[in-house]
Structure formats: C-alpha cells, structure tokens
Structure 1
Amino acid sequence: MTESEIAEPLELPRGIALAWGIAAAPQRGPKREMSVERIVDAAVELADADGLAAVSMAAVASKLGFTPMSLYRYVSAKDDLLLLMQEEALGLPPESLDEANGWRARLAEIYRGAVEVYQRHPWLLALPISGSPITPNSSAWIDATLQALAETGLTYDERIAASLTVMGQARWCGTVQAGYGERARTSGLDDAQMAAQESALFDAVIGADEFPELRRAIDAGVFTSTFDPFRFGLERVLDGVDAYMATRGSDMAPEVSGHEWIALEEAELAGDKRYLDALKAVRAAEKALRAARKVERQTLREANERIAKARAKG
C-alpha cells in the first residue's frame, strides 16, 4: 500500500468531539470549578427560562460567575455550545419503548417522546437545521426508529424515510404547541379560552361565499374541538407505511425510484433578475385573479339577493 492510499484519520469538528467525550480537555483554566457539563447545563437553563436569544457566552459566563474567556477554554465557539445544548436537551429516547409491542406502537412512543422534548425545551425548534446532528443522543433516536422497523423488511432507505416522517410530525406538533404555549404565557388565557377567541375571530371574517368549506368547518366547531389533528396525522402516516408494506408482499425487493429532492430553480437560487422579475409578475397576476374572483362572488351574491327580493315582491 502506497502512502497516498493510507487514509488520513478524520478530524471531528470540536463540537461533535466534545459531544462524544473525545475532545482534549483544556490545559489551563479553573478546572475544578468549570467543566463543559456545567457550561452546557447553565446555557440550557437560560434557554429554558428566556429562550435561545438569552444564550450568549457572556450570559453563560455571568451565570457561572466567570469571565467569557474562561468559557472559551472549554467551548471555543457558540455553534459548538448550541450543538451541546441540543444534545443535552434531547436526551435519550423514552424508556417506554421497551414496553411497546410492534413497530407501529414503538414509532408512536418515539413520536410522543419527541413532542415532550419540544414541550420541555421549545427553544430547540429555533435551532437552524444545517445537517444531521452527529451526536450520541441524536444517534440514539435515529437508531431507535430503525430498530422499531427492523423486523418489517423495509430497506434502510425506507426505514430512514419513515423515521424522518415521524420525527417531522413530532417537530411540527412541537412548533405549533410552542407557539400556543408562548401565547398562553403572555396572554394569561388557558387552552379553551384561546380556542374560543380564535374561533370567534374566524367567525367574524370568514364568509360562506368566499370560503365555503372553511365556513362549514367553523360552524362544525373545529377550532374549539379537542380532537388532536397531529396524532390523527401520525396515525394516517403509519397506516400508509403499513399499507405500503402490504403491497410489497413478502418479497420486499427495493423499489427503483426516480424521486428527487424538491428544489428551487437554479436561476432563482442564483438571484437571476429576469427570472425573479418573471416570478414577481406571476404573483401579481395571481393576486389580481384572486381579487377578480372575489368581486365575481360578491356580484353573484348581490344578483341572487336582487332576484330573491324581486320574486318575493312578485
């Protein structure tokens, strides 16, 4: 083997190395009083109390009674701190997984556990997604979803896809609940009061002519219902996975798929002016069309009212 064929050992980014406990410890600094664990715990406490915006190296240092420079000996960048905070807040998958029978029940438990994590630490939802977080706890969640589907015969591509769908459902549920939770804290309203207020606002502006189905939904009480739309969505996703496995049969041979990632046109990503101007013109035309259809519905309604009045007089 030539020297060029010998692969260089991969150097992990410091944040990932810290998460796995394989980063070199600082050689100087207040070792007994300070540690990566204490720094991360303090940062998580700040985020839990006041949101992600409250977390800075200076704020964490102040909470611990040290200078920011002391922190940099342990966590050299804020991005690394955010990664470690995410790892700490995420924790391990729920222990209730051990009592769940079958792939469907196990995925449902993973979903429930993830939603609870977002409820405890809503600031997690504000962290940017720039790739897969390659840390111990995040890896444990991925592994748990793959284990749940291990006996199904799905390919690893399909199992990862199912995992992403379940976790995406949990994240969306967490996002909505976090928003309503913040509103509850600032308004002092409970869930029922917020639902009633929201329903009343819809009721005030939604007409049957312009939004007929939404009007019927409001009248049916959807905005004050205790029905859980997120769990319904999860169950239908799992129904779909179940049906997919049934159609594949016992062979379970991998499907050849031509599906591609959804992506914007390169011209739009590059900021091509002529293309962006064309998109702007399309949006303006769509807006004008919606306005024209609104006038059409209004005119039709008024015409029907005139006809009805004329018939009543005749």
Structure 2
Amino acid sequence: MIADLPDDLARLWRVPKGSRLGRPAALDVDVVVRTAIELADRDGLPGATLPKLAAELGVTPMSLYRHVGSKDELLTLMGDLAFGPPPEYPPPHNDWRAMLRQWAHAQWAVHRRRPWLAHLPISGPPRGPHLLAWVDAGLRAVRDTGLDPAAKLGTLTVVSGYVRHADLLAQQLAEGWLADGTAQPRHEQTYGRQMSALIDPNRFPDAAALFASGLFESPPPTTDPTGDDFHFGLDLILDGVAVAIAR
C-alpha cells in the first residue's frame, strides 16, 4: 500500500520509498523544508524561492528536486510543518466552546507569528500529518456536540477560514497604515472625518448614522485592536455554532 503512495504524499508524511542502503544523504526533505520555513519567517514567502533556498543550503537548484517535486509541493510541505503541534485541552474536556476557542486562538497565534502562512495558496483539503493533527484536535473539541460529521467538519472549516482571513485583513490594514506613516487611531479618525464629509444621509442613511456616531473620532481604548476585532468575530461564529448544536 505504501509503495502505491504518490511521491509527493510520501514526502509529506516522510514515508521512505525505495532502497535505504548506502550513506545517509546530507540533505533530506526535513532539512529543505525547515530551511525554507526559516527563510519565509525572515523574508516572507518571496524569500523562500527555490533559487534562494538552494543558495542558503549551498546546493544547485536542480538538486532540490530530489527532495521536493516542485515549488508548489514545497509550499505544501512548508504549510504543513510550519503549523507545528495543535493545542492540548485542559481537562475535563466537556466545554466545546472553550476548546474550540482555544483551537482558534492557537491558530491565530501561529498566523501572527508567521504572516506568510495566510498567503499560501489553498490547493485542497489538509493532507499532511501536522495539519491533520489540527483537524483531529478540532474534531475533539466538537466530539460531544451532537453535530453530524459534515457539520463538525463544516464548523472547523468556517473557524479556520475565519482565522486565516482575519490575519490577512490585519496584515493588509497594517501595511496601509505603515505606508502613509499614520498610526491606527489617527488613521481611523481621518477615515471617519473623510467619510462623514462625503456621505449623503439621503443616499446612505445608515452609513451616515454610523459615521455621525463618533465611533471613528474616539475609538474605544485598546492595547490590541487587531486582537479585539478577532475575538469579537470569533465569538459571533461560536454563537452560531451554539445555535446549530441546540437545533
């Protein structure tokens, strides 16, 4: 059965194929992928190209193809390994909401530590051991909810998709603030004033009311606006899951 595995799946699971005789190679899949992750952590995803990876390892780009079949496969390998192990829930394991929140917060922490993860292309469902460990941990959180398998998987998809999108949005907003040298509170204040001047209450009555409310003029005090927005959105999703469970 293992012999029938596609080469890329065998590499993803580190399943050896072929003869293992002879001297161990100095370069293997783990060395290549961990080095690529280090480059992405340092320079972002554009820093983890095959030529840059080869230069970092002191080998030719062609030699990398013995360990990763393509750039797309390298990205898949990086995305799986970079997540690391999922969270472990404290006992008594009877609070699905607390466990699912911990699962989402742990993903959020990984994304904030490695912003390049949100920029990886999605080419299919999780296939690697690390991402499937996260799926397993998520399923453990909703095990006793009474949801059917499809609803459980759908819940994890929605929550993890929200984490990814929230991180990507936070990155893009931060890039916008840095680009014009404006801190977030001042940026929001300017935005509110500009929209208030432009919006016609007769055309956009509810939007006009929002900008007239003073929300952007004096935003609520916070030490972590990105985190506050994330927690608010996550609670909305968990409220929806609670409704599905009750139904």
For Structure 1 versus Structure 2, the TM-score category normalised by the shorter chain is 0.7 to 0.9
Gaps of 5+ in 1: 1-7, 248-314
Number of aligned pairs? 238
| Residue aligned with 1:154, SS | coil
Which residue of 2 is the match for residue 103 of structure 1?
96
The structure-2 alpha-carbon separation of the partners of 1:29 and 1:192, relative to structure 1 and needing over 3 Å to count, comes to farther
Which residue of 2 is the match for residue 165 of structure 1?
158
Rounded Cα–Cα distance in structure 1 between residues aligned with 2:180 and 2:18: 46
Which residue of 2 is the match for residue 215 of structure 1?
208
2:130 corresponds to 1:132: no
Which residue of 2 is the match for residue 307 of structure 1?
none
User: What amino acid is aligned across from residue 232 of structure 2 in structure 1?
Assistant: F
Say which of 52, 68, 73 aligns to 2:45. Answer: 52
Deviation at 1:168, TM superposition (A): 1.8
Deviation at 1:137, TM superposition (A): 1.1
Q: Which digits, 9 at most, give the CA deviation of each residue in 1:227-248, with x for residues without a partner?
A: 734423322322222233223x
Rounded Cα–Cα distance in structure 2 between residues aligned with 1:128 and 1:42: 20
Which residue of 2 is the match for residue 113 of structure 1?
106
TM-score (norm 1): 0.67
Contact kept? 1:61, 1:71, Cα under 8 Å? yes
The structure-2 alpha-carbon separation of the partners of 1:229 and 1:212, relative to structure 1 and needing over 3 Å to count, comes to farther
Deviation at 1:69, TM superposition (A): 2.0
Q: Higher Cα Rg: structure 1 or 2?
A: 1
Which residue of 2 is the match for residue 147 of structure 1?
140
- Aligned counterparts, 1:5-24, within 5 A: 11-24=4-17
Which residue of 2 is the match for residue 178 of structure 1?
171
Say which of 11, 23, 31 aligns to 2:25. Answer: 31
- Aligned counterparts, 1:252-263, within 5 A: none
Which residue of 1 is the match for residue 231 of structure 2?
231
The structure-2 alpha-carbon separation of the partners of 1:171 and 1:219, relative to structure 1 and needing over 3 Å to count, comes to same
The structure-2 alpha-carbon separation of the partners of 1:185 and 1:84, relative to structure 1 and needing over 3 Å to count, comes to farther
The structure-2 alpha-carbon separation of the partners of 1:184 and 1:19, relative to structure 1 and needing over 3 Å to count, comes to farther
Rounded Cα–Cα distance in structure 2 between residues aligned with 1:19 and 1:51: 22
User: What amino acid is aligned across from residue 143 of structure 1 in structure 2?
Assistant: D
Which residue of 2 is the match for residue 62 of structure 1?
55
48-57 or 167-176: bigger deviation: 48-57
2:242 corresponds to 1:242: yes
Which of 1 and 2 has higher RCO (CA within 8 Å, sep 6+)?
2
229-238 or 172-181: bigger deviation: 229-238
The structure-2 alpha-carbon separation of the partners of 1:62 and 1:110, relative to structure 1 and needing over 3 Å to count, comes to same
Rounded Cα–Cα distance in structure 1 between residues aligned with 2:56 and 2:186: 37
- Aligned counterparts, 1:264-275, within 5 A: none
Which residue of 1 is the match for residue 79 of structure 2?
86
Deviation at 1:18, TM superposition (A): 1.4
16-25 or 59-68: bigger deviation: 16-25
The structure-2 alpha-carbon separation of the partners of 1:178 and 1:42, relative to structure 1 and needing over 3 Å to count, comes to same
Contact kept? 2:87, 2:137, Cα under 8 Å? no
User: What amino acid is aligned across from residue 37 of structure 2 in structure 1?
Assistant: V
Deviation at 1:191, TM superposition (A): 3.3
Deviation at 1:149, TM superposition (A): 1.0
Rounded Cα–Cα distance in structure 2 between residues aligned with 1:72 and 1:115: 32
Deviation at 1:108, TM superposition (A): 0.7
User: What amino acid is aligned across from residue 9 of structure 2 in structure 1?
Assistant: I
Cα RMSD after superposing both structures? 2.8
Deviation at 1:77, TM superposition (A): 1.3
Contact kept? 1:111, 1:166, Cα under 8 Å? yes
The structure-2 alpha-carbon separation of the partners of 1:158 and 1:24, relative to structure 1 and needing over 3 Å to count, comes to same
Contact kept? 2:51, 2:61, Cα under 8 Å? yes
The structure-2 alpha-carbon separation of the partners of 1:16 and 1:184, relative to structure 1 and needing over 3 Å to count, comes to farther
Gaps of 5+ in 2: none
Contact kept? 1:29, 1:73, Cα under 8 Å? no
The structure-2 alpha-carbon separation of the partners of 1:24 and 1:190, relative to structure 1 and needing over 3 Å to count, comes to farther
Contact kept? 1:26, 1:73, Cα under 8 Å? no
